[in-house]
Amino acid sequence: MPRIGVFVCQCGNNIESTVDTQKVADETKKLPGVVHTESYKFMCSSPGQESFKKAIKENKLDGIVVSACSPHMHEKTFRRAAEAAGLNPFQCEIANIREQCSWVHHDPTKKVGTAKTMDLTRMTIQRLKKNRDLTKITIPVTKRALVIGGGIAGIQAALDIADGGHEVVIVEKEPSIGGNMARLSETFPTMDCSQCILTPKMVEAELHDKISLYTYSEVEKVDGYIGNFSVTIKKKAKFVDESTCTGCGECWEKCPFKADSEFELGLSKRKVIYTPFPQAVPNIPVIDKTRCPKILKDKCGLCAKVCGPQSIDFTQEDQLVTEEFGAIVVATGYDLMPKSKFGEYGYGKITDVISGMQFERLASASGPTGGAIKRPSDGTEPKNIVFIQCAGSRDEKRGVSYCSKICCMYTAKHTMLYRHKVHDGQAYVFYMDIRSGGKRYEEFVRGAIEHDGAMYLRGRVSRVYEKDGKIIVQGADTLSGSQVEIEADMVVLATALVSRDSATTVAQTLGIGYDKDKFYNEYHPKLKPVETVTAGVFLAGTCVGPMDIPESVSQGSAVASKTLALFSSDKMAREPITADVNTQTCNACWDCLNACPYVAIDKTEVKDRKGNVVKMLATVNAGLCQGCGVCVCACRSKAIDLNGYTDEQVYAAIATF
């Protein structure tokens, strides 16, 4: 006969107001196998737990039911207490009588709540009688981290993990790390030069003996599970030997062919052998194989002739490498909505209607104009400049429904930079709301208006078109209730921040979720903001949603702390709630294998003594299994059971009725 204890929590008044907990305790005491029951004000409090442990020992209990709040809240607490009192922690079960009972029933006579609590508790008692002792699974941990994306979030994560003493590989698809931040001129609200604060971190990452940079590379495939990922990375051919190249620049100086610079967003040209920008890290060029005449038709080859250390190698091919990692940090960043999306703003066909990011390049000292604000069409200085916020943001019909969060601030910054560079110019800003939540952000916007003379107009622009060499901006100022028309020389669109085109592919490779806008899902938006449902895969920066630099950096450090915690011991323990295959009844139909979303089921050969394969079996990789139970449902021969949630346990609970 089992010796079960039932502990009914009053949760102050949360439960007690609609459940007569003492009555529940008295009634359950009469059930077979139950030897001890009690009702208590706060079971989770220190005195509550002490009396819990004492009761276990004194009554020699071998199974516990705690009727209290959701197991999400305190299952861990009570299982730990039970373990401390000498029980197997999996012999302690929670009946949720708060979220699923007292909070949803409002009967002041407590009749309904008490009856339902009785049912829930009885079910759990019957279920508990079928529980088996389970032992936590321990898995070895490879103490090496992969960071996907070399923007500011990824760099920060890599530096913090490396400073914690572990090896890190940064995989970056561009020829240089730095990401979007490398494009920015100054940063709000401090007006530090973006490159001045970013490049030291880029160089630190390059020189760190624990960090390896795989630039011009992409993640192809991810196998394995937390602590034990096996990742295949494609290193695209650079046609330059990284071990000998000194980055002297002779090759790109002499290269006679040009293409639009991706980094400069089409505002200037780069060579066909190039580094994206002068402070590139690593300072090693790549050859654009789609445009190089030597590669395309075996003509030219000038770069190879002028290269001192003979680093150019036209025969190089893409290379696949497979490496082991214990944790993966996803920091793939964002894209901007293309201007071609905005019909009413000219579909991107009006040359002097530019994006905010293009304005950053114009304002940047290292940009195509050396920091002078000039019109792309004719190189003249714009005297009237209009900034249009929410271009694509907060626009369910043609753009995205969300607020891109950073545009209010960078637009204010743009007006300041503009005024600092064009003293006699006038900036106009069309806005819907000014969202300046952040330390010293509101003061910054006020500065743009009061000190730097930006004219803020509350309204959305209906149309932008060309007339007599001017750009006509037709909008409204809803505060005065009038239409506004401005003859502008240049228009800057604060285009919406959107997820990467490749976001879904990367998500599928990693087995993580994304939302309707293809931003990656956090495990919990408030309490687990950098974790994903796939253990060991973490998120940092704008791949999760719009955020500014301070937030991205914070997230970079946050994932580092998660990774370092994971790397703090050689083995990690995890809950033994995993699927188990009955080797006798499995008929190897592989339905489970197809159903498993975590690729946790393997085909295993069973051999006889001579080594001949006699049958095939499905086996569960406990490291990968997340205990979701899909395979249990898929299995036609009922050969799979879920530890902790066996059919036997579930039927016992149901049979209570």
Partner 1 sequence: MKIPYYPGCTLNTVAKDFDTSAKESARAVGFEMEDLEQWNCCGASFPLTPDNIMGLSAPAKVLSGAKKAGDTLTTLCSVCYNVLKRTNKVMQDDKTRRKSVNEFMEDDYDGSLKIVHYLEVLRDDIGFAKLKETVTKPLEGIKAGAYYGCMLLRPFDDIGIDNAEAPTIMEDMLKALGATPVEFPDKIECCGAHLAMNNKEVVTRLSGNVIDSAVREGAEIIVTTCPLCQYNLESVQESVGATAAGVPIVYFTQLLGLALGQDIEQLGFDANGGAAKKYLKRKGLL
Partner 2 sequence: MKIKLNKNDIDSALIQQIERMSGETIKRCYQCGNCSGGCPVSYAMDIPPTQVMRYLQLGMVEELMEANSMWVCVGCLQCFSRCPQSVSVANTLEGLRQLVLRKGVDHDRIEDIPLPMLKSAPQQAIVCGFRKFVS
Q: Which residues lie near partner 1 (CB under 8 A)? A: 343-344, 347, 465-468, 472
| Least Å from the CB of residue 606 to partner 1 | 59
Cβ contact 549:181 at 8 Å: yes
Taking the complex as a whole, how short is the minimal distance between the CB of residue 394 and partner 1, in angstroms? 19
- Closest separation in Å from C-beta 397 to partner 1: 10
Q: If contact means CB under 5 to 8 A according to the sort of partner, which of partner 1, partner 2, none does residue 395 touch?
A: partner 2
Choose from partner 2, partner 1, none: what does 465 bind? Cβ within 5-8 Å by kind: partner 1
Binding mask 344-373 for partner 2 (x = CB under 8 A): x-----------------------------
Q: By CB under 8 A, how many residues form the interface with partner 2? A: 24
Least Å distance, CB 433 to partner 2, is 9
Encoded one letter per residue, x for contact with partner 2 by CB under 8 A and - for no contact, window 453-492 reads -----xxxxxx----------xxxxx--xxxx--------
Residue 35 interacting with partner 2 (CB under 8 A): no
Angle at 525 between CA 520 and CA 529, to 5 degrees: 75
Residues in the chain: 657
Q: What is the distance between the alpha carbons of residues 365 and 182, in angstroms, rounded to a whole number?
A: 12
Residue 355: CB minimum distance to partner 2, A: 19
Residue 533 is given by DSSP the state S
Q: How far is the CB of 346 from partner 1 (least distance, A)?
A: 8
Measured over the CA atoms of residue 629, residue 630, residue 632 and residue 633, the dihedral's sign is: positive
Euclidean distance between CA atoms 430 and 186, whole angstroms: 22
Q: How far is the CB of 380 from partner 1 (least distance, A)?
A: 22
Residue 122 interacting partner from partner 1, partner 2, none (CB closer than 5 to 8 Å by kind): none
In terms of DSSP bridges, do strands 579-581 and 640-642 run parallel, antiparallel, or are they unpaired? Answer: antiparallel
**Residue closer to partner 1, measured from CB, 395 or 466:** 466
Question: Which of partner 2, partner 1, none is residue 466 near (CB under 5 to 8 Å by kind)?
Answer: partner 1
Q: Select from 22-30, 214-222, 236-244, 392-400 the region that touches partner 2 (CB under 8 A).
A: 392-400
CA torsion sign for 553, 559, 565, 571 is negative
Residue 382 binds: one of partner 1, partner 2, none (C-beta under 5 to 8 A by kind)? none
**Torsion over CA: 26, 32, 35, 41 (sign):** negative
Phi, psi of 293 (to 5 degrees): -65, -25
The rounded distance, in Å, linking the Cα atoms of 24 and 6 is 9
- Token pair, residue 193, equals 């030069």
Taking the C-alpha atoms of residue 151 and residue 340, their distance in angstroms, rounded to an integer, is: 26
Shortest distance, position 401 Cβ to partner 2, whole Å: 9
Smallest gap from Cβ 372 to partner 2, in A, equals 31
Q: Which is nearer to partner 1, 370 or 469 (CB)?
A: 469
Q: Which is nearer to partner 2, 395 or 548 (CB)?
A: 395
Which residue, 417 or 484, has its beta carbon nearer to partner 2?
A: 484
Residue 608 touches which member of partner 1, partner 2, none, C-beta under 5-8 Å by kind: none
Q: Which of these ranges, 91-99, 389-397, 406-414, 638-646, lies near partner 2 under the rule CB under 8 A?
A: 389-397
The phi-psi region of residue 261 (left if phi > 0; otherwise alpha if psi is between -120 and 50; otherwise beta) is: beta
- The residue among 344 and 452 lying less far from partner 1, judged by its C-beta, is 344
> How far is 392 from 338, CA to CA, in rounded Å?
9
Closest approach, Cβ 471 to partner 1, in A, equals 11
Among 204, 323, 395, 575, interactor with partner 2 by CB under 8 A = 395
Distance CA 535, CA 541 (A): 18
* Shortest distance (Å) from residue 484 CB to partner 2: 7
Would you say 204 or 395 has its CB closer to partner 1? 395
Nearer to partner 1, 366 or 474 (CB): 474
Q: Assign 441 to helix, strand or coil.
A: helix
398 binds, among partner 1, partner 2, none (CB under 5 to 8 A by kind): partner 2
CB 256 within 8 A of CB 292: no
CA distances from 182 to 175, 261, 440, 548 (A): 13, 14, 23, 14
Q: Which is nearer to partner 2, 181 or 353 (CB)?
A: 353
Among 372, 432, 472, 634, binds partner 2 (CB under 8 A): 432
Does 399 help bind partner 2 (rule: CB under 8 A)? yes
Nearest to 519 by CA among 338, 318, 332: 332
From the list partner 2, partner 1, none, pick the one residue 394 interacts with, judged by a Cβ distance below 5 to 8 Å according to partner type: partner 2
CB of 361 to partner 2, least distance (A): 28
Helix, strand, coil tally for the chain in percent (to 5):
30, 25, 45
Q: How far apart are CA 123 and CA 6, in angstroms?
A: 12
467: partner contacted, choices partner 1, partner 2, none (Cβ within 5-8 A by kind): partner 1
Backbone torsions φ then ψ of 24, nearest 5 degrees: -60, -45
CB neighbour class for 253 (10 Å; exposed up to 12, middle 13-18, buried from 19) = exposed
Q: Is 394 in the site for partner 2 (CB under 8 A)?
A: yes
Q: Which is nearer to partner 1, 340 or 583 (CB)?
A: 340
Looking at the Cβ atoms of 377 and 637, the one nearer to partner 1 is: 377
- 193 interface partner picked from partner 2, partner 1, none, CB below 5 to 8 A per type: none
Rounded to whole angstroms, the Cα distance separating 171 from 415 reads 36
If 0-12 CB within 10 Å is exposed, 13-18 middle and 19+ buried, where does residue 209 land?
A: exposed
Give the binding range for partner 2 (CB under 8 A) out of 1-9, 251-259, 321-329, 452-460.
452-460
Partner from partner 2, partner 1, none binding residue 424, C-beta < 5-8 Å depending on class: none
Judged by beta carbon, residue 472 or residue 476, the one nearer partner 1 is 472
Of 5 and 475, CB closest to partner 2: 475
| Residues ≥6 apart with Cβ < 8 Å to 212 | 167, 168, 169, 170
Nearest to 14 by CA among 120, 97, 137: 97
Contact by Cβ (8 Å): 213, 205: yes
Count CB neighbours of 502 within 10 A.
14
Q: Of 353 and 558, which CB lies nearer to partner 1 in the complex structure?
A: 353
Beta strand 286-287 with 273-274 is antiparallel
Picked from partner 2, partner 1, none, the partner binding residue 458 (CB below 5 to 8 A depending on kind) is partner 2
CA angle, residues 228, 216, 192, in degrees to nearest 5:
100
Give residue 437's identity as a one-letter amino acid code: G
Q: What 3-state DSSP class applies to 190? A: coil
Binding-site member from 298, 317, 396, 468 for partner 2 (CB under 8 A): 396
Residues of this chain that bind partner 2 (CB under 8 A): 344, 390, 394-399, 432, 458-463, 474-478, 481-484
